[in-house]
């Protein structure tokens, strides 16, 4: 069965009130900052609590940065049913309700507070130097990752790096991203030069920190290359920064980042899976020979039977620990459920892709562009499925309730089904691969049984970052060779942009890419007028709130800060100001 998620989950639950404190006495029944952590095992539990925040946010995926960044990008539309207005609002860069992303905001600061508490405690602990450095580095990585999501989503956010209570005050982008980069640089410099993907499953290592540093560097130095005002961020001028001052006064340069990325490429031990299709769960051994697209092609999923994916550097782990308890829902991949096929009534119609809520229908503009720029790219059919072409019985309309339907689904993050020995279909291949026993919830539950990893960083992205930073074709051509494509002779930004778009489609990266390259408004406008179906009736995708470009230029792509958070910061020592573009005219009512 799936093990890692269970152990991390159990440890996190045992953690209890890690961030609470007692007034004046030792508490022997509850872990707190007064008596925790003290031992090596305590540190392991503390780290588990920080990692567990990845799962906790996944319990409400529709509020998260990953979900928002995907639907807001030019890869997909909003989708869902007529009452799923939050999905459509995110696609249109509009608002629905006062607090549509509040749960994510809360959860990420819980994760940050847990990281701060452990980092504060580690300063005074007597521990093996290597173990201490590893724990400190992991906590810094996770704090940096949580701030990366928050800063990407909201822009100016409260920044705290201590467990001491304080009124939240919005920091500048330079302060926030400087701290993110410093945390990652510190983690890289202190963590052992060891690939831990097989020895400490579910934990990050030095090389994952190098990869995330590269991603954060590229976003900050691109997005803010003209300044941090709205006009600067929405300008079409793109001339990335080459040096950043960190909070400790040191400088991080482009050359430094290149050295870290080169180290990751040359020494990490991570590598490309030989066949691109083997990265995705539909090639699992229980499904692969029953799916016409993969049958007879000698494909084998990189994660079959809990195998370690050599390309995966950082992932959210899931397990059979999932049930309907609020603390446990996130141990199932709720993103897969939300992006699942809507309203077909039976899994036979769209085998091997299972049922879900129909969020994120793929924009036909992406398919059109891809067909023109790389018509022989195996990654297109490996990454998306045109249901109306592949499944003759696919019924447009989602059972009468489906908005912005295109009939095209991204295949990378979807429920994947499998056939049982009697020919009937299991809602998830996990029930066959790992058995139907030991589920904390129920087997054959399409809402809880998606438990394959959600990979957040993979080695192919590192290779493409290497090419982008060094402005050469080495990394690009390694990625292209895996896809069976001819090498390109000379580097260009356009070639790099196309390669990232094709290799990393539907992996929650496109949104920040088009923002940092200062092409977002133009890219988003391609969604205007594409053919869609609303409740089964053909129509065209029409602008709301002035249109995609207008909404982007009004907001720079930053989401509305949850309204309930603003008064919490009010007072002499704290404040949070709402982001631009979220006053009158920003609310979405209906299609």
Q: What confidence tier does 19 reach under pLDDT thresholds 50, 70, 90? A: very low
- Examine the pLDDT at 36 and tell me if it is beyond 80: no
Q: 5 pLDDT exceeds 70?
A: no
pLDDT, tens digit, 9 for 90 and up, residues 265-293: 999 999 999 999 999 999 999 999 999 99
Which tokens in the block code for residue 580?
């631009």
For residue 575, is pLDDT > 90? Answer: no
Name the CA dihedral angle for 118, 123, 129, 131, rounded to a multiple of 10 degrees: 0
pLDDT of residue 34: 64
User: What residues have CB less than 8 Å from 202, skipping those under 6 apart?
Assistant: 4, 5, 8, 51, 315, 317
The C-alpha atoms of residue 380 and residue 388 are separated, in whole angstroms, by 16
Res 1: pLDDT:
42
Whether the Cβ atoms of residue 427 and residue 415 lie closer than 8 Å to each other? yes
| Mean pLDDT (the chain, rounded) | 93
306-315 residue pLDDT tens: 999 999 999 9
Residue 25 pLDDT grade (very low, low, confident, very high; cuts 50, 70, 90):
very low
The pLDDT score that the predictor gives to residue 7 is 35
DSSP calls for 364-418: HHHHHHHHHH-TT-HHHHHHEEEHHHH-TT--TTGGG--SSB-SEEESSSS-B-E
The answer, yes or no, to whether residue 62 has pLDDT greater than 60, is yes
pLDDT at 573: 74
Please give the domain boundaries of the chain with CATH numbers for all domains: 4-64+101-269 (1.25.40.890)
Pick the more confident residue, 570 or 423: 423
69, pLDDT greater than 60: yes
Confidence of residue 584 (pLDDT cuts 50, 70, 90): confident
pLDDT of 4 over the 70 cut: no
pLDDT tens string 245-255: 999 999 999 99
For the chain, what percent of residues have pLDDT higher than 70? Answer: 94
Structure tokens at 58: 């996944």
What is the mean pLDDT of the segment spanning 47-72? 98
Q: Which of 52, 204, 217, 77 is nearest to 136 (CA)?
A: 204
Query: What value does the mean pLDDT take over residues 487-515?
Result: 99
Q: What is the mean pLDDT of residues 517-529?
A: 98
pLDDT at 388 over 90: no
Read off the pLDDT of each residue in 50-72 and give the average, rounded to a whole number: 98
CA–CA distance, 544 with 588 (Å, rounded to integer): 8
Contact 212, 141 (CB under 8 A): yes
3-state SS assignment for residue 140: helix
Please state the length of the chain: 591
pLDDT at position 32: 61
Sign, CA torsion 350/351/355/361: negative
Residue 572 has what pLDDT? 64
The CA distance from 219 to 238, in Å, is 12
Q: What is the pLDDT of residue 35?
A: 62
Residue 451 near residue 319, CB atoms below 8 Å:
yes
Q: What's the whole-number mean pLDDT along residues 464-482?
A: 99
- Greater confidence, 261 or 32? 261
pLDDT at 371 over 80: yes
Kindly tell me if the per-residue pLDDT of 443 is higher than 90: yes
Select from 64, 43, 74, 105 the least CA-distant residue to 316.
64
**Residue 151 pLDDT > 90, yes or no?**
yes
How far, in Å, CA of 273 to CA of 235, rounded? Answer: 38
Q: CA-CA distance, 371 to 378, in Å (whole number)?
A: 11
């Amino acid at each position: 069965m799936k093990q890692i998620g269970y152990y991390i989950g159990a440890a996190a639950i045992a953690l209890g009130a890690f961030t609470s404190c007692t007034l004046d006495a030792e508490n022997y029944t509850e872990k707190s900052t007064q008596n925790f952590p003290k031992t090596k095992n305590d540190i392991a539990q503390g780290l588990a609590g920080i990692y567990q925040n990845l799962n906790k946010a996944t319990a409400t995926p529709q509020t998260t940065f990953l979900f928002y960044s995907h639907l807001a990008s030019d890869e997909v539309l909003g989708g869902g049913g007529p009452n799923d207005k939050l999905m459509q609002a995110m696609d249109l860069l509009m608002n629905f309700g006062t607090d549509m992303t509040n749960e994510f905001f809360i959860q990420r600061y819980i994760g940050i507070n847990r990281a701060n508490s452990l980092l504060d405690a580690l300063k005074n602990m007597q521990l093996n130097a290597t173990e201490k450095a590893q724990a400190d580095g992991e906590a810094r990585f996770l704090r940096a990752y949580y701030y990366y999501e928050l800063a990407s989503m909201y822009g100016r956010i409260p920044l705290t790096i201590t467990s001491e209570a304080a009124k939240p005050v919005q920091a500048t982008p330079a302060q926030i991203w400087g701290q993110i980069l410093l945390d990652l640089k510190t983690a890289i410099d202190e963590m052992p030069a060891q690939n831990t993907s097989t020895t400490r499953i579910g934990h990050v290592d030095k090389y994952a920190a190098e990869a995330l540093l590269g991603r954060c560097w590229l976003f900050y130095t691109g997005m803010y290359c003209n300044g941090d005002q709205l006009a600067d961020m929405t300008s079409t001028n793109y001339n990335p920064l080459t040096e950043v001052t960190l909070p400790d006064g040191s400088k991080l340069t482009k050359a430094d980042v290149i050295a870290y990325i080169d180290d990751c490429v040359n020494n990490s031990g991570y590598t490309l899976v030989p066949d691109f299709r083997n990265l995705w769960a539909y090639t699992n051994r229980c499904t692969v020979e029953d799916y016409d697209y993969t049958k007879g092609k000698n494909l084998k999923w990189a994660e079959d039977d809990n195998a370690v994916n050599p390309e995966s550097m950082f992932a959210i782990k899931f397990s059979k620990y999932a049930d309907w308890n609020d603390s446990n829902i996130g141990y199932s991949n709720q993103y897969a459920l939300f992006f699942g096929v809507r309203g077909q009534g039976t899994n036979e119609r769209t085998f091997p892709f299972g049922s879900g809520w129909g969020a994120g229908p793929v924009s036909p503009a992406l398919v059109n562009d891809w067909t023109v720029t790389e018509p022989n790219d195996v990654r297109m059919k490996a990454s998306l499925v045109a249901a109306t072409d592949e499944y003759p019985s696919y019924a447009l309309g989602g059972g009468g309730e489906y908005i912005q339907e295109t009939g095209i689904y991204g295949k990378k993050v979807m429920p994947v089904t499998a056939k049982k020995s009697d020919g009937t279909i299991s809602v998830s291949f996990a029930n066959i691969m790992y058995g139907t026993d030991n589920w904390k919830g129920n087997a054959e539950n399409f809402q809880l049984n998606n438990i394959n990893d959600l990979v957040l960083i993979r080695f192919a992205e590192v290779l493409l970052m290497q090419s982008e930073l060094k402005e050469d074709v080495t990394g690009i051509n390694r990625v292209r060779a895996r896809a069976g494509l001819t090498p390109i002779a000379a580097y260009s930004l356009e070639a790099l942009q196309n390669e990232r778009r094709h290799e990393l489609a539907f992996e929650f990266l496109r949104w920040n890419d088009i923002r940092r390259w200062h092409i977002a408004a133009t890219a988003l406008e391609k969604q205007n007028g594409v053919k869609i179906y609303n409740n089964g009736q053909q129509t065209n995708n029409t602008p709301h709130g002035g249109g995609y470009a207008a909404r982007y230029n009004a907001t720079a792509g930053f989401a509305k800060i949850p309204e309930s958070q603003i008064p919490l910061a009010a007072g002499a020592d704290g404040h949070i100001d709402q982001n631009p573009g979220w006053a009158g005219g920003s609310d979405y009512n209906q299609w």
